[in-house]
Structure 1
């Protein structure tokens, strides 16, 4: 009995540790310029994460659902083990917890301190581009073209020359596909891509409203207040699942085929996205001398935080 008790305690501690991994990864993913994939590399579980995500195939999911019939239960158990859900579920729970907390903070700060928030994010993004450029080679004509293409595309999108719908469920779905796919790539921030698509503050607000509505239910809150933000959250998560099963695999194949060119393009997207937070969050802001000083200060703070993390971690490298 004592042995069984000790085993359960050890298993519980292992799940708690994975949940802690999820908290760290979710915090990184929720901040533009910092990548959850980098955190996974630093904490030593990136290989297991990639293997588990790659194992999430429609065939295995179907095998699990067929396990309700006794004849298919052995195959269902094997599929569950291959997908490593004992790792993915607590990791996902930790990520959701961290993202929810940060989304609420971002939603509030976007209204109360937009200049400081946008400048801080731009500092994070610009510094991450500088750090990541050290890990790629731009010595060939192809690499230079990839760099120009990535920076140009990001600048055109950030400046609203290439425009995406600001709201709408279809755009939320696309944002989920793109952002979740980026989350598994070290050095590439899913939140940064949400900023580039003009969805970051909007989705943070929707998630915050959904969580506030859930918290208000026990004290007499209305279910009707959950419908709109809840729909947005579900559509985004659906896009994320589709992204993991499709786009993430395409990016991985591109890395296997032309690793340096792919990384140069991705890092250049980051570099070109540096002004995007200021464009998307502070559009129409009156730029007084005080606002410029505040913005410059928080830009420096954001860059300093990223450079500090890079120094503590011994360097951030894209996968």
Structure 2
């Protein structure tokens, strides 16, 4: 059982160092960063769409483990950090953090002044991606767990449908303690498909203050938010990594349910209390943006498949043949 894992790890490491793969990773990071700035859109969903979700969780867990090792067993630190795919993490991180820093003001304006267009764009992306978590499951295992899988799928869908219907009251001057705890919760949403970190902030009335702090480079709020995010990520990522390792099929099905339920938040025409409205305005343009979002998601998925296929072909051609 260990041989296939070793081969897979080698293939992944080779792919990480491929210049084309690095560019794709940066682009994926950009998409994740853009998604996390839009309430109702999950960066975890984008990671699932392009096939890097489990890899990202695994590397994040390895990174957090290496930090713990640094303080508990410094002699093993060198071994721990070798398990991290640095080229992968850095390239995705550069795209994500870079786009947030550069476009936070633009995205804030886009979401505030053109909410229908923003939701339409991401509605197309998320709708196309609904099949992704199911595609990543083991078909035999899924067939053997039809009933619990169906129950978890429905729970995830219903739960997110109602959560995304919650309205909020914006806080004009939130305390740093509130920012800290909000960040620790929102970061969990970042790594959980279907749940938007920005939407969690919106529910808590903190979306505007946080996005404004990033746009205005308010270091006090940004610093406290980062500390809260690190704390939340440390506590949550280990649990998620365990679920993906021990209960992969059911976890993926549950995530598919979360993604389906989250579509409520992306219906383009809503009032300020997240209640549905009949289509209005330039309906044709809005529907066009839904198709644009679908094409973007589909295009990224095809690029990821092309990259994986190219890497596998390269590895096959360079693998020594034994008689």
Which TM bucket (shorter chain)?
0.5 to 0.7
Paired with 2:288 and 2:203, the residues of 1 have a C-alpha distance of 21
Does the CA contact (< 8 Å) of 2:190 and 2:196 recur in 1? yes
CA shift digits 1:42-101 (9 cap, x unpaired): 66655543322111336x32443689xxxx5x5332233234445434542332111112
CA shift digits 1:105-162 (9 cap, x unpaired): 123445xxx342x11222134434533455669994564344333212221x2x34xx
Q: Which residue of 2 aligns with 1:259?
A: 251
Q: List runs of 5+ in structure 1 lacking aligned partners.
A: 1-12, 211-228
Paired with 2:164 and 2:25, the residues of 1 have a C-alpha distance of 31
CA RMSD of aligned residues (A): 4.3
CA shift digits 1:197-222 (9 cap, x unpaired): 44444322210100xxxxxxxxxxxx
CA shift digits 1:144-200 (9 cap, x unpaired): 344333212221x2x34xx68574334433443344334345565544544454444
Does the CA contact (< 8 Å) of 1:175 and 1:197 recur in 2? yes
Paired with 2:271 and 2:179, the residues of 1 have a C-alpha distance of 20
Find the partner of 2:70 among 50, 64, 68: 64
TM-score, normalised to structure 1, is 0.63
Tell whether 2:32 aligns with 1:28. yes
Q: Which residue of 2 aligns with 1:177?
A: 184
- What SS does the aligned partner of 1:246 have? helix
Find the partner of 2:128 among 112, 128, 131: 131
When residues 52 and 145 of structure 1 are mapped into structure 2, their CA distance, relative to the original with a 3 A threshold, is: closer
When residues 280 and 79 of structure 1 are mapped into structure 2, their CA distance, relative to the original with a 3 A threshold, is: farther
Tell whether 2:317 aligns with 1:311. no
When residues 22 and 132 of structure 1 are mapped into structure 2, their CA distance, relative to the original with a 3 A threshold, is: closer
TM-score, normalised to structure 2, is 0.62
Tell whether 2:118 aligns with 1:93. no
Paired with 1:273 and 1:80, the residues of 2 have a C-alpha distance of 39
Find the partner of 1:151 among 157, 161, 164: 161
Q: Which one is further off, 95-104 or 239-248? A: 239-248
Paired with 1:272 and 1:282, the residues of 2 have a C-alpha distance of 9
Paired with 2:54 and 2:178, the residues of 1 have a C-alpha distance of 31
Does the CA contact (< 8 Å) of 1:35 and 1:188 recur in 2? yes
When residues 311 and 281 of structure 1 are mapped into structure 2, their CA distance, relative to the original with a 3 A threshold, is: same
CA shift digits 1:289-319 (9 cap, x unpaired): xx9415x45643442222112332458xxxx
Q: Which residue of 2 aligns with 1:222?
A: none
- What SS does the aligned partner of 1:273 have? helix
Q: Which residue of 2 aligns with 1:271?
A: 263
Does the CA contact (< 8 Å) of 1:177 and 1:247 recur in 2? no
Does the CA contact (< 8 Å) of 1:119 and 1:298 recur in 2? no
Paired with 1:165 and 1:24, the residues of 2 have a C-alpha distance of 32
Paired with 2:214 and 2:163, the residues of 1 have a C-alpha distance of 28
Does the CA contact (< 8 Å) of 2:184 and 2:232 recur in 1? yes
Find the partner of 2:61 among 50, 54, 58: 54
When residues 191 and 305 of structure 1 are mapped into structure 2, their CA distance, relative to the original with a 3 A threshold, is: farther
